[in-house]
Every structure is written in C-alpha cells, then in structure tokens.
Chains A and B, each alone.
Chain A
Amino acid sequence: MTATTRLKLNLGPQHPSTHGVLRLLLELEGEKILSCEPDIGYLHRGMEKMAEKLTYIQYLPLVDRLDYLAGFFYSELLCRIVETACQAELPDKVRVIRVMMLELNRIASHLLWVGAFLMDLGATSPYFYVFREREMILRYFEKVTGQRMMYNYFIFGGVRKDIEFLENVEEIISILPQKIDDYEKIITDNPIFIRRTVNKGILEPETAFNFAITGVNLRASGVDYDYRHQDSLYKGFDFKAIVLDGKDAWSRYKARILEMRESINIVKQALDYLKKSGPLEQRLIPPINLKLPEGEYFAEIEAPRGLACCYVRSEGDDKPYRLKWRTGSYYSVNLLRNILKGEYLNDAIAIAGSLDIILPEVDK
C-alpha cells in the first residue's frame, strides 16, 4: 500500500487549450480533482475605470473590446443606457437592423465556440470548417460596419449608416443550415465525442441558480429563461428558447447548435422586413456635451455567453461617475470551483470548454 499523496497542478495561464489566459489551480488525488481555484486577471484592462475618464462617445468604440467575439452586444448595451437616459425612441428599422446584427454576431460567436470546444477534445477539422463559415459573417460585418470585430456601428439613437449588401446575408443564411448539418454529421453522433461529453460536468439547476449562471448553460440544464422574450428590442420576432434537460456538456453543445438554427430564423425574419423597408430615418443623439441626467441607469441583454448587463451611475456630468459590466463568462469561471469537483483531470478541459468561457469578458 502506498500512501495517497495530493498533487497541486497549475493549468495555465499559457495552456494552449484555455481560451485566453486563465490559470486553474487544481488539487488532485490520483487523477481525481478535489478542488479547483480559478485565478483571473491576466487580461485586465480596466474597462470600468476607463469609462470614468472618457465621455460617453469616446467610450463607445472601446466596449467592443470587452468581448471580441460578440462586440455588438456590449455596444448595444451602452447605446441603450444613453437612449433610455435621453428618452429616445428607436425607429422600427433601426431596431430590426440591430436585431439582425446581434443575431449574426451570436451565430459567429457560437460557431467559433463549436470549433474551439472540438479543438479542446482533440478534433481538428471542425475548427477549420467553422472558421470558413464565420469568415463569411465577418466579411459581411466588415463591409457594413468597417471592421471585422471592433465594429463601432451602433451609435446613440441609431446606427452609423443604412444597412447594405443584403444579398450577402441571404447567401449566409442559405448556406449555414447545410453547414451546420455537416458539423452535426461529424460531431453529434460520433461515439468518441459522446463518450467524452455525455454525463460529464453535470450542472444541476439549483447549482446554476446559486452561481448566477445564465444563457445557454442555464437553458441546457432545463431552465426556460431567455431574456430575449422580455426584451423590447426583439418585439415582433417569432422564436423559441432552446431548452434541453441533459444538464451535461453534450447538452450544452447541442443547445448551441440549436440556438444557431434559431438565430438563422430570426435573421430571416429581419431580412424579410429590411428588404421591404424604405430608407433609414433616425434621430441621432448629438454626442458633444452629452450629459446624462443625474441618476442610475441599467440595461440588460441576452449575450451569447449569458445575460450581459450594464449599470451606469451619473452625477449629471458628461462622464459616468461609475460604470459596471455584468458579463456571463465571469460567473461561468466561478462555477468551475463547483463543477470540476470529483471529475477526472482528462475531462477538466472538456468541461471548462463546454461552458464557453472567454477571458477578456471575465477580466474586463
């Protein structure tokens, strides 16, 4: 008999499988994980403190950098804060343009997640396929907004310019469903994939509530909560929340695949509206000397990685007194303490990958 020794293992911060730079301090007994301590902060850029030094319009291009895979969601939040403070009504066309961009962005973000997750599990070909499809979406964003990831397209009271190149969107949504079928052929029923994900990283709804998990991770645990249904931005769009009750890594994968298909539906509805609509008419809020009335403002939106919120406290100045972001990934990282306990080291990366953690969002 040999005495069992406990081993402390550093996973990261430069581990190639982690998304960004995350350090996990694991305590192991054999291959079993006894405890996990996430260590964050390697990508800290001071996004919240920076807001206190910049005017609202100066801060707007920077919020895209909070989450480089889904930048539109955060600029939408900041725009919404300013619009509620100035009591500006969005015209229908602006609303639909924003919904279309957000949903395309959600598809792009989930696509990359599928590739990165499969890469974590050791499958390389899906990684290249998703980049090919994501490239179509990013090229479209570049044509309309001017950049591939740092869009700066939504501005206070509207969008920068009228939507163009709608035929590209049509092409994207006609090609994507077949491509997603292709991924499913390679991935979903693959026996190795099933063995590595089914019943791994079980997330019970109670744990999810305690750790404030939102978004796809929560819905894959059987809780029907999709903020988009309460969101006035999505008024008039017909879609359903994807709820699966597998609670494991496989369900989280499947939920994202299904959510992409649902997003394609929303983009289709938006496209039908935009094709028939006239030229863009909007009343922009002038950004120079823009002062929010004294008070507190709050906005939330369903981002790809969970509920994203923005809180602004204004003292009637042209800069926020305090600005706070709530990002979905931050809570997923915290969940690792709980969800990795009792699992094997081999599954740690698969489980952490299935939560869709993106570090710039965590460190802010």
Chain B
Amino acid sequence: MCIEFFGAVKALWEGMLTVFKHLFKRAVTLEYPEKKRDLNGAFRGKPVVEGCIGCGICQRVCPSGAIEFKKDENGKVVFYKFDLKKCIFCGNCAFYCPKGAIKMTKEYELAVQNKDELNLIYRGGAEND
C-alpha cells in the first residue's frame, strides 16, 4: 500500500513536471487570418488552365466530373470550366495533362458569396490566348 502510494506520487510528479515544462515554450499554433503559413512544396489548391489543346484526358481521369470543355469547328478550345463545387483537388488532371496546361495553384481560400463564382470558366485557351 505504502509502496503504491509513493509510486503514485512519483509518477504524478514526473507527469506534472513534463506538462509544466510546456509553459515556457513557444506557441506552436498560428493566428490564422492574420498570419498564414507558407505553402512550399506541392500544395494542391485552385486549378487553373492555360494553353489547352482539348485532348480530353483531364475529363477522363477526373473522379468527380468537374471538368467541362467545348471546341469550335476548327478544334480550338473556346470554353473550359472547372466546377469547384465538384472538384476534390486530387490533382489527377494536372498530373496527366500531356501539355502541362493545368496547374494547381497555391490558392486555398475559395469561399464565395455566390455559388456561380465557383464555376471557373476560361475562354479561348488555345495558343493565341
């Protein structure tokens, strides 16, 4: 009984010491809207497209059907749409694009007031754009 008591006091003391050490350390959290952390590396945010040739591979690898595009009679891409309501930011389209036309930017604050703004529409898109 006595041994158990002293064992408990020792264990609690050691535990409390470990916890109290943290009082004198720097905070690890960030005050988000004022301070933002740096997103180096391969962060996948809002997708953008430039220089699309209309091969349609992005559409075929997209798991959620978020990509739509239209071509005119000359085969030029005149309309390209990312539906951010459907997009899951997996990055398949950017990885498999043969021309490297789709890029995942580092933009991640995508909340909007009007849901139509979540349709990212690019017009033109071919070489002359």
Q: In the complex, are the beta carbons of A182 and B61 less than 8 A apart?
A: no
Q: In the complex, are the beta carbons of A190 and B63 less than 8 A apart?
A: no
CA A287 – CA B59 in complex, angstroms?
Answer: 13
Minimum C-beta distance from B39 to chain A (A): 8
Interface 0/1 of A167-207, CB less than 8 Å to B = 00000000000000010011101110000000000000000
CA A144 – CA B91 in complex, angstroms?
Answer: 13
Q: In the complex, are the beta carbons of B41 and A186 less than 8 A apart?
A: no
- Chain B: how many interface residues by the 8 Å CB criterion? 29
A150 at the interface (CB under 8 A from B): yes
Given contacts A132-B28, A146-B104, contact A161 B90 (CB under 8 A): no
B57 at the interface (CB under 8 A from A): yes
- A135 nearest in chain B by CB position: B28
CA A144 – CA B61 in complex, angstroms?
Answer: 21
Note all chain B residues with C-beta closer than 8 A to A142. Answer: 39, 41-43
Interface 0/1 of B70-105, CB less than 8 Å to A = 000000000000000000111110011000000010
Q: In the complex, are the beta carbons of A191 and B11 less than 8 A apart?
A: yes
Q: In the complex, are the beta carbons of A287 and B43 less than 8 A apart?
A: no
Note all chain B residues with C-beta closer than 8 A to A161. Answer: 42
CA A59 – CA B64 in complex, angstroms?
Answer: 10
Q: In the complex, are the beta carbons of A146 and B14 less than 8 A apart?
A: no
- A129 nearest in chain B by CB position: B22
Q: In the complex, are the beta carbons of B28 and A152 less than 8 A apart?
A: no
CA A324 – CA B117 in complex, angstroms?
Answer: 38
- A61 nearest in chain B by CB position: B90
CA A160 – CA B15 in complex, angstroms?
Answer: 43
CA A146 – CA B88 in complex, angstroms?
Answer: 12
CA A34 – CA B40 in complex, angstroms?
Answer: 54
Note all chain A residues with C-beta closer than 8 A to B40. Answer: 143
CA A350 – CA B34 in complex, angstroms?
Answer: 39
CA A152 – CA B40 in complex, angstroms?
Answer: 18
Minimum C-beta distance from A70 to chain B (A): 18
Residue in contact with A61 in the complex, picked from B39, B88, B104, CB distance below 8 Å: B88
Q: In the complex, are the beta carbons of A144 and B11 less than 8 A apart?
A: no
Q: In the complex, are the beta carbons of B41 and A58 less than 8 A apart?
A: no
Q: In the complex, are the beta carbons of B41 and A165 less than 8 A apart?
A: yes
Note all chain B residues with C-beta closer than 8 A to A160. Answer: 91, 95
B12 at the interface (CB under 8 A from A): yes
- Quick one: which of A115-149 are within 8 Å of B by CB? 125, 132, 135, 142-147
CA A57 – CA B61 in complex, angstroms?
Answer: 6
Q: In the complex, are the beta carbons of A288 and B61 less than 8 A apart?
A: yes
Minimum C-beta distance from B68 to chain A (A): 16
Interface 0/1 of A152-167, CB less than 8 Å to B = 1001000011001100
CA A145 – CA B88 in complex, angstroms?
Answer: 15
Interfacial residues, chain B to chain A (CB-CB below 8 A): 4, 7-8, 11-12, 14-15, 18-19, 28, 39-44, 57, 60-63, 88-92, 95-96, 104
Interfacial residues, chain A to chain B (CB-CB below 8 A): 54-55, 57-62, 125, 132, 135, 142-147, 150, 152, 155, 160-161, 164-165, 182, 185-187, 189-191, 287-288
Can you give 7 A-B contacts (C-beta < 8 A)? A146-B41, A146-B91, A146-B104, A147-B43, A152-B92, A186-B14, A186-B19
What are the nearest 9 A-B pairs in CB distance? Answer: A143-B41, A61-B90, A146-B44, A191-B8, A146-B42, A58-B63, A186-B15, A189-B11, A152-B90
